[in-house]
Amino acid sequence: DVNCFRKHGHNEADDPAFTQPLLYRKIREMPSISALFSEELVKAGELTKEECGEIQKGLRRHLDASLEKVKTVKKSSTFEGSVAVHQIPFDFSPVETAVPKKDLDKVIMALSTCPEGFNLNPKIKRQVDAKAKNYKSGQGIDWGLAELLAFGSLMLEGTPVRLSGQDSERGTFSHRHAAWYDSKDRSRYVPLLNMEDRQGKFCVYNSLLSEAAVLAFDYGYSLDYPSMLAIWEAQFGDFANGAQVIIDQFIMSAEDKWGAVSDLVLLLPHGFEGQGPEHSSARLERFLQGCAEDNVVVANLSTPAQYFHALRRQKKKEFAKPLIIMSPKSLLRHKQCVSELKELTKATFEEFIPDPAPPARPDTLVMCSGKVYYDLLEAREGIRSPKASILRVEQFYPFNNEKFEALTKPFAKAKRVVWCQEEPENMGAWSFLAPLLEEGLGRKPEYVGRTATASPATGSLTLHKMEQAELVAQALGAEMDKETS
């Protein structure tokens, strides 16, 4: 057994005698380790008392000589030999992320080909066949397919892809199915690993339930293997709070503190759909609060094409930044949340998306982000004479002020300018965006959303639906129309 004790306090300013007076009185009275060991050596006949003393004097002479030598050495820079990475500043220059159709054809071939003798689950087969059919038509590319096309296209270019999370193989909402299991013998088949002309590897893992441990590992992986697109996916975005220490200590601040750069992607399912306070919010406001000095990219995307380009942009730009995505849940199967194939082969990422079909004479500008856009769109279709044009903010940070001002300039004289969000007023993007929107618009936008609450969301589905309908109607001015009529 080894019996140990701390001779001094926790640090040089700490006096342990404040709380352990008897213990530390005894410790102070004890001979030093060197004195005790010298005594043992003398007793054992290994050394004489004089030899022990000479060893101590020799060590002292060596230390004194080293101290004198240090005084004559020219001081070097504190940062000499630093491993800090100095990368070019963030900028909004467009990044070429489109992929030729001939390359995407190779990806879809792998994704839709079941090996002979493999017993694929019938439900998965229907999903696979539907995605292949939509791809062939060039229409209806959903979120899951756009993601796998992004992965596959990167792999064709030599970029390896790694995805881990609590249900990442199939996806929490059964939308991905990146790995197939034989219904009879449970043998595993990964379509992307069997892609023609594959240059990069693909790793997908169902992780353990310790968010802090897994995110810490994946963050470290992104540092150690910077050529790989590394992704950590939370089962629900709400559960990312179990890894808050990793987010605060490393992801948000490591570049500023140590020059450690990472382009790790965080997929955090987020959206208010009546599932209660533990399954609605990835706490967008916390990430935005930590945004400064272009440290991360925070996005809430509304189309599969945007997601496709955002993933590819991570490995195409000349600088590395963590990408934090408020990923969707209900939009994974929303009939309107689809993209055309040409949006993957010709377009690029957009920080904002203007209204594709605005009213003839709009007098209201509604700005929003993510899932609530489709709620607004559906409600507007039910209004006989709609007056609201809808602008989507896809990337919260870094915020492209110049582009925002150009897109909102036509609404300089609009009767109403609104920011609409699902989250309570003290959460979501409002507190972060309000001053940026006001600066770009030249006026303060009207807030429309849930009132401030301690809990992210109600646990009542009925109440949720009432709140959602009310905020959508208020944003579009539908309630005002009723009152006027």
Q: Is 166 exposed, middle or buried (0-12, 13-18, 19+ CB in 10 A)?
A: middle
Q: What is the pLDDT of residue 485?
A: 39
* pTM for the full predicted model: 0.87
Phi-psi region at 219: left, alpha or beta (left = phi > 0; alpha = psi -120 to 50) = alpha
Cβ-based neighbour number of residue 216 at 10 Å: 17
3-state SS assignment for residue 93: coil
3-state SS assignment for residue 324: strand
Q: Tokens 């064709």: give the residue.
A: 156
Contact 148, 192 (CB under 8 A): yes
How many residues make up the chain in this entry? 485
Q: What is the pLDDT of residue 75?
A: 74
Give exposure, 461-475, as e/b (b: 16+ Cβ within 10 Å): eeebeebbeebbbbb
Q: Tokens 């870094």: give the residue.
A: 398
3-state SS assignment for residue 163: strand
pLDDT (tens digit per residue) in 196-238: 888 999 999 999 999 999 999 999 999 999 999 999 999 998 9
Residue 19: half-sphere exposure toward Cβ, Cα within 13 Å: 5
> How far, rounded to the nearest angstrom, does the alpha carbon of residue 97 sit from its chain's CA centroid?
20
Q: What is the pLDDT of residue 89?
A: 87
Q: Which helix (H) or strand (E) holds 164?
A: strand 161-165
Q: Give the span between the Cα atoms of 463 and 274, in whole angstroms.
A: 8
Q: Which of 356, 358, 374, 228 is nearest to 300 (CA)?
A: 374
Q: What is the pLDDT of residue 480?
A: 47
Residues of the chain with pLDDT under 70: 76-83, 479-485
Q: Give the span between the Cα atoms of 165 and 180, in whole angstroms.
A: 17
The β-bridge relationship of strands 202-206 and 188-189 is: unpaired
pLDDT (tens digit per residue) in 293-342: 999 999 999 999 999 999 999 999 999 999 999 999 999 999 999 999 99
Q: What is the pLDDT of residue 482?
A: 47
Q: Which residues have CB under 8 Å from 34's CB, separation 6+?
A: 56
Q: Which of 355, 361, 404, 352 is nearest to 376 (CA)?
A: 355
- Maximum distance among all alpha carbons in the chain? 108
> How far, rounded to the nearest angstrom, does the alpha carbon of residue 109 sit from its chain's CA centroid?
30
Q: Give the span between the Cα atoms of 382 and 270, in whole angstroms.
A: 26
* Domains in the chain with CATH codes: 16-71 (no CATH), 101-345 (3.40.50.12470), 352-484 (3.40.50.11610)
Q: Give the span between the Cα atoms of 265 and 297, in whole angstroms.
A: 9
3-state SS assignment for residue 184: coil
- In the structure encoding, which two tokens stand for residue 272, read together? 């208010």
Q: Give the span between the Cα atoms of 160 and 180, in whole angstroms.
A: 20
Quote the crossing angle between the two packed helices 122-137 and 101-111, to the nearest 10°: 160
Give exposure, 110-121, as e/b (b: 16+ Cβ within 10 Å): bbbeeeeeeebe
On the question of a cis peptide bond just before residue 398, with omega within 30 degrees of 0, the verdict is yes
Q: Give the span between the Cα atoms of 420 and 389, in whole angstroms.
A: 12
Separation in Å, CA 242 to CA 25, 245, 458: 43, 8, 21
